[in-house]
């Protein structure tokens, strides 16, 4: 494992160099918070950001993505034929992605890229990305990532892990893609022999700062129907107003809805984020809705993350503990409480 030292004074210049080979995506201020956005010419990421309300999942799974276009104009030879929208060209580097968000992309990969099915739209977005992560030195009080198979310094899904060490970033090179990014940026200064220890020390400190935990060791051993029919749901989820805040903020929520939108004779087929919180989610064409009541929809969200996924993939929770849903829920429905309730049931 090699470590590169990037003096902060050379950071901006390096990104400008990297821009020749990559479209850059990074955290930028937005109103009172931050968001991940494509960086315009001359725009640099704000690496001092604390958190973002939305995860960068849109990089591989945009909130609205045009898959096909078509024309209904019968005077045209290709009318009524769906034509795939070509993939955007070139490599992308996602700068400053947090370790839990990178892990989240790996969890969703199980859904979009598996032996039965390969989602071409998700995959073409994914494959062009280099993930240049930024470790979290000071986790928030709602960060419970260490309970969820990741953590503030976790490496899974990253090509490079940057660690803020004061006047420099220490870059831990994790893959060939990561090595290429650093070389395009001209970051080549070998970090000294003490780099590994410096990273380990910061990691230990950050992990120790996380006091928020969940337990799910007993969930896999319980039967689905026992949990599904458990008597606590209605009351535990009473306050939920069924907005989609948690589903949109969640880096692992992957449900989508496909729609045709036509204007005049031109049409597109678009894939949009869906949310299990809405009444329309899985509402059958017959009119029957298997999740008729509000609490049943919320149960779906938690059962999916905390039980169905656990059983299907044997890869832990479908949750990376980023804490966004906890922070943003208007009614203070807390996945940690729900998870512990399921585990103790």
Partner 1 sequence: MADVALKIREIARELLDSEKVDVVIGFKKGTLPVMSEPTIIRKASDTKDLIWDATCRLNLCNYLTGRKDRIGIIAKGCDARNIVGHIVENKIKRDQLVIIGVPCTGMADKKVLSDLAGGEVTAYSEAGDQITVSGPAGEKTVSKADVLQSNCCTCIKRNPVIFDEMAGEPVEELSPDNRFADVEAIASMDAAAKWGYFEELLSGCTRCYACKNACPLCYCPTCFVDESRPQWVGKGTDPIDIRTYHFLRAYHCAGRCTDCGACEAACPMDIKMRAFTRKSIKDCVDNYGWETGMKEGVRPPLDTFKTDDPEAFIR
Please give the Cα distance from 228 to 62 (Å, whole number): 31
Contact between 340 and partner 1 per CB under 8 A: no
Which position among 183, 328, 341, 343 is part of the footprint of partner 1 (CB under 8 A)? 328
Asked if 255 and 247 count as a contact pair (C-beta separation under 8 A), the reply is yes
- Listed in sequence order, the residues at least 6 apart from 132 whose beta carbon sits closer than 8 Å to its beta carbon are 93, 94, 95, 96, 97, 158, 159, 160, 162, 178, 181
- Give whichever of 143 and 159 is closer to partner 1, judged by the CB atom: 143
- Give whichever of 63 and 83 is closer to partner 1, judged by the CB atom: 63
- Give whichever of 175 and 278 is closer to partner 1, judged by the CB atom: 278
Contact between 235 and partner 1 per CB under 8 A: yes
Which position among 257, 290, 312, 315 is part of the footprint of partner 1 (CB under 8 A)? 257
Contact between 32 and partner 1 per CB under 8 A: yes
Asked if 292 and 198 count as a contact pair (C-beta separation under 8 A), the reply is no
Asked if 339 and 215 count as a contact pair (C-beta separation under 8 A), the reply is yes
Stretch that binds partner 1, among 7-15, 195-203, 234-242, 304-312 (CB under 8 A): 234-242
Contact between 334 and partner 1 per CB under 8 A: yes
Residue 273's DSSP bridge partners are 256
| Residue 297: closest CA among 250, 233, 232 | 233
CA–CA distance from 126 to each of 105, 106, 157 (Å)?
9, 10, 11
Contact between 215 and partner 1 per CB under 8 A: no
Contact between 239 and partner 1 per CB under 8 A: yes
Contact between 31 and partner 1 per CB under 8 A: yes
- Give whichever of 75 and 286 is closer to partner 1, judged by the CB atom: 286
Contact between 267 and partner 1 per CB under 8 A: no
- How many residues can be counted in the chain? 345
Stretch that binds partner 1, among 107-115, 128-136, 177-185, 331-339 (CB under 8 A): 331-339
Please give the Cα distance from 178 to 186 (Å, whole number): 12
Please give the Cα distance from 276 to 298 (Å, whole number): 7
Burial class, 177, CB count within 10 angstroms (exposed 0-12 / middle 13-18 / buried 19+): middle
Contact between 140 and partner 1 per CB under 8 A: yes
Which position among 279, 311, 312, 345 is part of the footprint of partner 1 (CB under 8 A)? 279
Asked if 274 and 257 count as a contact pair (C-beta separation under 8 A), the reply is yes
Contact between 332 and partner 1 per CB under 8 A: yes
Contact between 337 and partner 1 per CB under 8 A: yes
**Residue 22 corresponds to which tokens in the numbers above?**
């990559």
Contact between 330 and partner 1 per CB under 8 A: yes
CA–CA distance from 290 to each of 231, 259, 324 (Å)?
18, 21, 28
* Residue 139 CA from chain centroid, whole number: 17
Stretch that binds partner 1, among 150-158, 183-191, 203-211, 253-261 (CB under 8 A): 253-261
Which position among 208, 220, 315, 331 is part of the footprint of partner 1 (CB under 8 A)? 331
Per-residue contact string for residues 35-74; x = within reach of partner 1 by CB under 8 A: x--------------x--xx--------xx----------
Binding-site ranges for partner 1 (CB under 8 A) = 30-33, 35, 50, 53-54, 63-64, 140-142, 235, 238-239, 241-245, 247-249, 257, 259, 261, 270, 272, 275, 278-280, 283, 326-328, 330-334, 336-337
């Amino acid at each position: 494992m090699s470590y590169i030292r990037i003096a902060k004074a050379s950071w901006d210049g390096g990104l400008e160099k990297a821009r020749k080979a990559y479209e850059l995506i990074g955290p930028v201020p937005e109103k009172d918070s931050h968001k991940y956005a494509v960086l315009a010419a001359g725009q640099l990421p704000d690496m001092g950001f604390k958190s973002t309300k939305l995860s960068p999942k849109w990089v591989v799974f945009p909130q609205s993505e045009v898959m096909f276009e078509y024309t209904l104009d019968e005077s045209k030879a290709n009318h009524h034929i769906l034509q795939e929208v070509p993939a955007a060209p070139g490599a992308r580097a996602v700068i400053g992605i947090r370790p839990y968000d990178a892990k989240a992309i790996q969890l969703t990969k199980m859904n979009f890229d598996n032996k039965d099915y390969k989602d071409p739209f998700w995959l073409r977005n994914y494959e062009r990305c280099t993930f240049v992560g930024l470790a979290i030195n000071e986790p928030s009080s709602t960060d419970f990532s260490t309970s969820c198979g990741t953590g503030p310094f976790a490496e899974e899904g990253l090509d490079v892990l940057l660690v803020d060490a004061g006047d420099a970033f220490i870059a831990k090179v994790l893959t060939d893609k990561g090595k290429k990014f650093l070389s395009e940026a001209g970051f080549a200064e070998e970090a000294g022999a003490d780099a590994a220890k410096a990273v380990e020390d910061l990691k230990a400190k950050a992990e120790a700062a996380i006091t928020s935990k969940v337990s799910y060791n007993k969930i896999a051993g319980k039967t689905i129907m026992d949990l599904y029919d458990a008597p606590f749901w209605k009351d535990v989820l009473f306050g939920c107003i069924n907005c989609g805040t948690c589903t949109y903020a969640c880096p692992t929520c992957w449900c989508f809805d496909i729609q045709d939108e036509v204007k005049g004779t031109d049409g597109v087929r678009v894939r949009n984020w869906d949310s299990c919180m809405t009444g329309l989610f899985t509402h059958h064409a017959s009119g029957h809705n298997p999740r008729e009541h509000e609490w049943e929809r919320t149960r779906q969200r938690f059962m999916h993350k905390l039980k169905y996924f656990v059983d299907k993939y044997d890869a832990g929770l479908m949750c990376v503990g980023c804490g966004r849903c906890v922070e943003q829920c208007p009614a203070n429905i807390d996945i940690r409480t729900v998870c512990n309730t399921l585990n103790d049931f």
